[in-house]
Amino acid sequence: MYKFMKKDGMLEDFDRNKIVSGVVKAGGTAEEAEKVASAIEAWLPAVAASVVKSQDVRTKVLEVLGTVNPVAVASFEAYQKPA
């Protein structure tokens, strides 16, 4: 199981549902969200032994989302979690 290092240094378990939910909230379809989540799952073993920075995942999600729904990219990119 992969862990994500958040901006504050906290570790969190990988949760593909967060990717799916984020893509759908950004305007992607459920099918597009599943494609993005699957691509991230396939990408993880190549970049991390067990821990990956959340910002790196966000960057990869934007890259993959741009190939399946370029319109949703701006919305996903603009989202900032409240402090």
39: nearest Cα among 20, 53, 55, 24? 20
Which residue stretches of the chain have pLDDT < 50? 83
Determine how β-strand 11-13 pairs with β-strand 51-53. Answer: unpaired
Residue 6 contacts residue 15 (beta carbons within 8 Å): no
Q: What is the pLDDT of residue 63?
A: 95
Whole-angstrom CA distances from 54 to 23, 39, 46, 81 are 15, 15, 15, 13
Segments making up each domain of the chain, as ranges: 3-78
pLDDT of residue 37: 96
CA angle 75, 10, 43 (to 5 degrees): 55
pTM: 0.86
